[in-house]
Amino acid sequence: MKIRILIGAVCLSMSPIAAADFGRLLATGGLTTIEGAGGGGIVPWATLSSYAEQGQWGGTLAYNHANVRDYQLDVAAATLNYDNRVEFSYARQRFTLESLGGELEQAIYGVKYRLYGDVVYGKAPQISMGALHKKNTTFALPNAVGAADDSGTDFYLAATKAWLDGPWHRTWLANLTVRATKANEMGLLGFGGDKKDDYSLVAEASVGMFINRHWIVGVEYRQKPNHLNFADEQDWHDVFVGWFPTKRIAVALAYTNLKTIAGAPEQSGVYGSVQVTF
Amino acid sequence: MRDLSVFRALLLILTVFMSHQVAASSDTTATRSTALYDDLGGHDGIRQMMETFVLNIAEDERVVHHFVNADIERFHTQISEHICELSGGPCIYKGASMPEVHKGMNISRAEFNAIVENLITAMETHDVAVSTQNRLLAILAAMHNDVIQR
C-alpha cells in the first residue's frame, strides 16, 4: 500500500494537469495528521491542507508511520481543498499490535470548514470547524473490551495563528483545538463504552517556531477521553521537526509519547510523515 | 495531573506570545528605531534589494500582468522610499496611500502572496538574515487589507 501511494503521489506531483496555483505561502498548508485532516501530527489545525487560495483547488497525499514499543500505526491519507474554505479528507489507519498480535483498522472521513480569518494576515486567528466520521472495521476486539459502537463522529473547533515576527524575531505558530468525541484511542478501540457512552470534551494544542521558512520545531499535546473500564486512556504528547523544502513536499519527524495504550505502558517512539501536495 | 500541567504550560507559552505582540506593537509607536533600516543595508542596500524584487516580479507570470503599464523606474524608486521609511530610515514616502495605489487593480489574495514570495526571494538573494526578513514582513503583512481586492 505504501509503495502504491508513493508512486501515485510522485506521478501526480509531476503531472501538469494536476498543477495547482499554490496561492498560499510556504508551510501554511501544514502537515497531514494521523486522522487525515490538515494540521500537525496528532492535532487538527484551523489551516486547510494544500496551498489552495481563494478560487483554487489543491490536495495532498500523505503517509504517516508511528513506531512505539508495542504498537505500530500506519496511516495513508488524502485531502482536497477548495477555495481555502473547505477541506475534505480521507484516512485509513492500521494499528498493529506487535506483542499481542493482530491489527485494528479504521477509515476516517473528514470535513473542515474555515469560518473566519487567515493564519498569517490580520490580528485574529484563523478559525475552522470540522468533523471526523470514523468507521472501525475490526470491531471484535473493541467490542470485547467494552466499546459500544463501531463508528462515531468527532466534532472540533480549531483556532490557529502565526506571528511573522514573534519572539527572537522568528515566525511562531500556535493552535488550540477543542474536540467533542466518543472515540476510544482515536476510534481504534471503538466509540463509547461501559464506563461512559457519551461525548467527552477534550482540548488539544500545538506550538511551533519556524527556524526559517523551511524548518519548524514544535510541541503538541492532545487530551484523551476515558470511556472504557478495562484500561485508562492517557493524554498524548509529541515534539516535532517539520521540513518544507518546497510547496510540493513536506516531511515531519517526531518523538512521540503515547504513554499507556490498552494497558501496555511506556509507548514512546518515533513518528514520521511524508506529504505530497498537488 | 501531569497532563494538565503540560496543557497549562502550553497556555502559558500562548500568553507570553500575546504579551510579546502587544509589547512589540507599542514599541513601534513609542520610538522610531533605525535598526531595521540599518539591517536591511541602509539606502543602498534597500535600493539594490528592491531592484531584485522588481526583476523577480517581471519574471513572475502570476503577477506581472499588474505591472505591464507601470513605469518600472518610478515603481522601483517609490517602493524603495516606502521600505526606507517603514524600516525607520531617513526617507519620506511621498506616494499615494496603499488603498489608493492599488485601487482598481483587484489584487487577489493569491497574487498578494506571490508578491510576498518575490520579496522573500529578493531578501534571500541579498543574504538578509531571517530575523530581519521577519521584521520587514510583519510590517508589510499589516497592509494586506489595504492592498487586496481594491
Give the dihedral sign, CA B20/B24/B30/B36: positive
Q: Strands A151-163, A126-136: parallel, antiparallel or unpaired by DSSP? A: antiparallel
For helices B42-58 and B72-86, the axis angle rounded to 10 degrees is: 130
Tell me whether residues B6 and A235 touch, CB distance under 8 A: yes
Torsion of CA B79, B82, B83, B88, to 10 degrees: 160
Q: Are residues B65 and B24 in the same domain?
A: no
Same domain, B118 and B64: yes
Of all residues in chain A, the one with the smallest CA distance to B116 is A25
Partners of residue A211 in chain B, C-beta under 8 Å: 130
User: Given CB atoms, is A107 within the 8 Å cutoff of chain B?
Assistant: no
CB contact under 8 A, B3 and A223: yes
Q: Are residues B79 and B26 in the same domain?
A: no
- A221 and chain B in contact, CB less than 8 A: yes
Closest approach of chain A CAs to the CA of B58, in angstroms?
Answer: 18
The reported pLDDT for the residue numbered A18 is: 43
The answer to whether residue A27 neighbours chain B at the CB level (below 8 Å) is no
Q: Judge if B25 and B77 occupy the same domain.
A: no
Q: Are residues B112 and B59 in the same domain?
A: yes
Long-range contacts of B78-82 (CB under 8 A, 24+ apart): B79/B50, B79/B53, B79/B54, B80/B46, B80/B47, B80/B50
Q: Is A170 on the interface with B (CB under 8 A)?
A: yes
Cell of B60: 513572475
Cα of B93 to nearest chain A Cα, Å: 24
Q: Would you give the DSSP letter of residue A261?
A: B
Interface of A with B in 37-56 (CB under 8 A): 53-56
Are B144 and A165 an interchain contact pair (Cβ–Cβ within 8 Å)?
Answer: no
Report which residue type is found at B2: R
Residues B89 and B122 in one domain: yes
Give me the pLDDT at residue A258, please.
Answer: 85
Closest by CA to A48, choosing from A57, A61, A39, A35, is A39
Tell me whether A111 touches chain B (CB under 8 Å): no
Question: Cβ of A165 and B138 within 8 Å?
Answer: yes
pLDDT digits (tens, 9 = 90+) for B81-137: 999 999 999 999 999 999 999 999 999 999 999 999 999 999 999 999 999 999 999
Looking at the fold, whether B130 and B113 belong to one and the same domain comes out as yes
Interface membership of A272 toward B (CB under 8 Å): no
Q: Which of A165, A207, A219 sits opposite B135 (nearest CB)?
A: A165
Please indicate, yes or no, whether residues B26 and B38 belong to a single structural domain of this protein: no
What distance separates the 2 farthest-apart alpha carbons in chain A? 53
Examine the domain organization and report whether B22 and B91 are in the same domain.
no
* Cβ within 8 Å, pair A221-B6: yes
Q: Give the CATH number of the domain where residue B91 resides.
A: 1.10.490.10
Residues B62, B16 share a domain: no
pLDDT of residue A262: 82
Interface test with B, best of A21, A25, A221 (most B CBs within 10 A): A25
CB contact under 8 A, A170 and B130: yes
Total tally of structural domains belonging to chain B: 2
CA distance A188 to A191: 8
* ipTM field: 0.90
Q: Is B21 on the interface with A (CB under 8 A)?
A: yes
Q: State whether B130 and A211 contact (CB < 8 Å).
A: yes
Per-residue pLDDT at A147: 98
Q: What pLDDT is stored for residue A5 in this prediction?
A: 52
Residue B5 pLDDT greater than 90, yes or no = no
Question: How confident is the model at residue A21, as a pLDDT?
Answer: 80
Is B82 among the annotated ligand-binding positions? no
> B134 vs A203: CB contact, 8 Å cut-off?
no
Q: For residue A174, what are the domain limits?
A: 2-277
Q: Could you list the mean pLDDT of each consecutive 10-residue stretch along chain A, which spans 278 residues?
A: 51 47 95 98 98 96 96 97 98 93 96 98 97 98 97 98 97 98 97 97 98 98 96 94 98 92 88 97
Query: Closest Cα of chain B to A221: distance in Å?
Result: 7
**Over the stretch B12-53, which tens digit does the pLDDT of each residue have?**
776 766 666 655 555 544 456 889 999 999 999 999 999 999
Tell me what pLDDT residue B95 has. Answer: 93
Asked if B137 and B92 sit in the same domain, the reply is yes
Whole domain around residue B104: which residue ranges?
33-147
User: How many domains does chain A contain in total?
Assistant: 1
Residues B27 and B39 grouped into a single domain: no
CATH number for the domain including A117? 2.40.160.40
Amino acid A97: pLDDT: 92
Range scoring the smallest mean pLDDT among A20-24, A100-104, B6-10, B62-66:
B6-10
What number of other Cβ atoms are within 10 A of residue B59's Cβ? 8
Is A168–B131 a contact, with Cβ atoms under 8 angstroms apart?
yes
B58 interfaces chain A, CB cutoff of 8 Å: no
